[in-house]
Structure 1
């Protein structure tokens, strides 16, 4: 069975093995035991309520309970930019006009921004490649929204997610080569690593404070602004299903899109439901074509699993094994949400997004 729970210090070796498989671009998951343990401890302290808001992070693992092995990781940073600056580029517009010459030019620009300060962030999503099947990746990504729906007061009003931008198989980024390298004179992987490990002072010291005209960049760099790395496209699509959208902010290193949404507009807050647990020896409720995420909503011991049957009249049947995995008893209340977005809901989201762009 696949179980999602809070990360624990005993998970370090499994997390280290995942970090070794992560490759370029996931700076919050580097194969460095001391840094990994420090982050794990920060997450444990957050749950225990002994961490300041600026340092709070929730980390969840996906565990294969049959193998007793952690095979995935995801997280939520509570508030960005409170202890160190949070940077990105805002894609804006500069207008130049001359009545004498009859010239009017509207030019896209990049402007260094701290606009996402004090936003919550979806982060550190990684699933072992050997387990990228059977909705495991979808479960790992979307359980964070179920957690936010249960504990909305813990988070800020807006949530963001930085998507990995384009880089080739050797870790070279056309955007970095044309922008960042001109100011930092270091390789992309080194700059990305330094930023991901909290060493960000060099950004403020060396990055330009004036707009960068996109039309003056090489075509190769222009093409990847707001582009998502091919390996990250599936994760991006899952976030779109939950209501996050690109609103014109990109990563300062690789130009990857930042997606964002008001927490109150997330699908999980609108569609998640509660049900009362009935423990049975055999499930008699009708099977569903799409799995449901089920969470116990116990803050101190949060757990979630997938089931393939829906509640009836507000009652959800669970086997003794499922109830034990969730740590729930008869008549306890659980929270549930379909792991997939219905076609009707997808059309509604697309229509809302189109209207928002037109506005």
Structure 2
């Protein structure tokens, strides 16, 4: 999740050596070595996918090491840190998203990450903090179930019930234990699951909270609505407990990975594409649409999602996915009948 290529790891380690030498630390004790440890523990492979390779140990990390994090965000998310981040949970502002061609768009998922104020992030979180975070989550869900019934399960409970694979929790890697992300696993890790299976909330796994909704159709408008409504409900409950979600004007919603700051939102649609993945301009098309394409366990089926999480609001990023997927499907249909798609390729922005 946080890997980067070895040359980039070495460059960052050299360029920011002063942080290590002076041993600057946040109030909770996060030093620069903690920040870059995820990339050092799991550096990835040459020629492999470029991922972010670092993580904040707490919200103050983004302030103390701002020169480093700002450059990482600008490079990874292609976003200049000169504007204020906006947020929009009005799902009615989304145009389309329920009218995809079902022969191509198969299913969808929308997720959003949040960090809780006054607590360290996963790589630096102590056992006591993690247990307190779980305690806070239990209090919130006791009230949350008044509007959406559900149950909080420990990861151990889910692991012992192989029939219920809806949470899809993957055991941590050795490097995740080393960098602190999986410290004391599975202590205080849990998943809240709504009775109707429309919403999951991961607690203390990759971030303090991660809301996920999946659908067996590609109606991403409904999935986005589910996330918006329930995220606002949880936010109100945490504010009531005096532990609001962390928001900064330039960073937006602050979470542990700089790959997710801004909105913390990922909107994804599974799309059946046979011709387009072989097109010579595919990388340019995806870059200009600001989308990411990833393989699935099904040949010829790909996950299409927003490549960035900062620089636009939640509606804006979901709209990018909606419009982009519709365009990709139009291109696919043309290629199936051997027609040219040059006029469909978006201009460089």
Q: TM-score, normalised by structure 1?
A: 0.28
Q: Looking at both structures, which has the greater relative contact order when contacts are Cα pairs under 8 Å and sequence separation is at least 6? A: 2
Which structure's residues are more often strand, by fraction?
A: 1
Structure with higher Rg: it is: 1
Q: TM-score, normalised by structure 2?
A: 0.29
